[in-house]
Amino acid sequence: MHIAKKITLLFAILSAVIISLLSGFVWYFSNEFAFEDFYKRLEARVNIAAQIKLVEDENNEAYSKMRRQYLEHLPSEKEYVLKADTNTHPTVDTDDVLPKIFYDRIKDGKMARYRKENHFYAGKYFEINKQGYIVIIAANDPFGFRELKDLQKILIAGFFLSIILSFIVGWKFSHYTLEPLRNIIKSMKKIKAENLHLRLDVKSYGGDEMSELAQTFNNMLNRLETAFETQNNFISNASHELRTPLTIISGEVELAMAAEMGSKEHIQALGKIKSEADRLEHILTSLLGLAQSGFNGKVQPREEVRMDELLWEIKDAVSQVHPESKIELDLNKLPEDEAAVTLKANKNLLKLAITNIVSNACKYSDFKPVSVKLESNNNLLSIAVVDQGIGIPQDDIQHIFEPFFRASNTNNFKGYGIGLPLSLNIIRLHRGSIGIKTQEGLGTEIKVMLPIN
């Protein structure tokens, strides 16, 4: 059963329970108090009848005349007066058999009441001159009884009408409430492997749980897109990049086999084989790192990392590989609070990502001074790497994060086009972003943004 139908059914059931309780409440108290006025009229007649019939008073005739003239005669009104003992009251021969509790109340000296359908009784015990009497007045109340019956019909009709209305309102309510969810489902059905770049519009769902659900789907799509891109790039580029050094190695092996042992051609062939084997190892290592850095759902081990200390380590690491590099660290704008420069991260992966960026800056600037600036602002760390190198042509900027892509002006520099894509994947793993600002011939600035929390 769909959620909308479940909500509608539950809403209708709850409404039915509430309405039935309310109707029962109204019916009970209406039944209790609807005839209160009529009972009081009967009780007044009981007292008047006792005064006229039992008490010897010279004004009784006047009382009787006034009663006939000014006190209305109730429908089917009957009067019963008979002698009785205080301990054993006789049963009055009325139209209906009155219950024992009625006579018990009379015995206790109280005004007794009884109703059967539309026939009402009121009675009381009087003692006149040491003689006991029972006075009972009986009458019908057609108007009150009819009103109660009409109320019963109204409550029953209102109950069924309310159930129908609650079902309609519940259906509309569930349809309105689940409309954002249906929109999310429709949008998600449109997203397939070939258009993973599409995202849900979080703002259109307001700031409630639906927008949180949409944002969760977007985060999942980010991970899926990165994983798909990583896999596709790995498959599409690995065969091409690996085939070239393998072809060269095979050719050089044939030359070495044909050449005289120890000759110049033999030594050159072995050197070429060694060079291409090193190149092949580097490509394989980079491809493996690129594949493992994708959003594969695995939990990466993380630790508290101070970025200023990590930058010093990165400077030392790059200097060991490229002793001629000139890296200047700018830490002047760091706050005194240590927590402002500390984040939870996979230290080795993060070090690899930033090392690739700094190493590229040194290499493509012919080892001119490279500035690395660290800032902390609003729970966000930024690492800006600025070089004075060859820059990137405008037409190539959109492709620099594609695996194995190299800018058109990098032919004089050795590289494989894997460093920046690998860095981007690692930064994304840490929920960060990379921005780039460059001008061909003047230099490049790459800024890495990482959330502290």
pLDDT of residue 297: 41
Query: pLDDT tens digits, residue range 14-60?
Result: 888 888 888 888 878 777 777 788 888 888 888 888 888 787 766 66
Question: Angle at the Cα of 91 (from 86 to 93), degrees rounded to 5?
Answer: 140
Residue 72 near residue 140 (C-beta atoms within 8 A): no
Q: How far is CA 239 from CA 229, 236, 249, 269, 284, in A?
A: 16, 7, 15, 24, 11
Token code pair at residue 229? 């891109």
pLDDT of residue 117: 80
Other CB atoms within 10 A of residue 234 CB: 16
Q: How far is CA 199 from CA 49, 90, 121, in A?
A: 90, 91, 79
Low-confidence residues of the chain, pLDDT below 70?
Answer: 1, 57-60, 62-63, 66-71, 85-89, 193-194, 204-207, 230-244, 258-260, 262, 279, 281-300
Query: pLDDT tens digits, residue range 175-197?
Result: 777 777 778 888 888 877 667 77
Domains of the chain and any CATH numbers: 36-140 (3.30.450), 202-292 (1.10.287), 303-451 (3.30.565.10)
Query: pLDDT tens digits, residue range 234-291?
Result: 655 565 566 667 777 777 777 777 666 767 777 777 777 777 777 676 666 665 665 5
pLDDT of residue 269: 73
Amino acid type, 67: R
Distance CA 151, CA 33 (A): 13
For 236, half-sphere exposure in the C-beta direction (CA atoms, 13 angstrom radius) is 10
Distance CA 82, CA 103 (A): 13
Q: How far is CA 232 from CA 226, 356, 370, in A?
A: 10, 22, 34
Other CB atoms within 10 A of residue 186 CB: 9
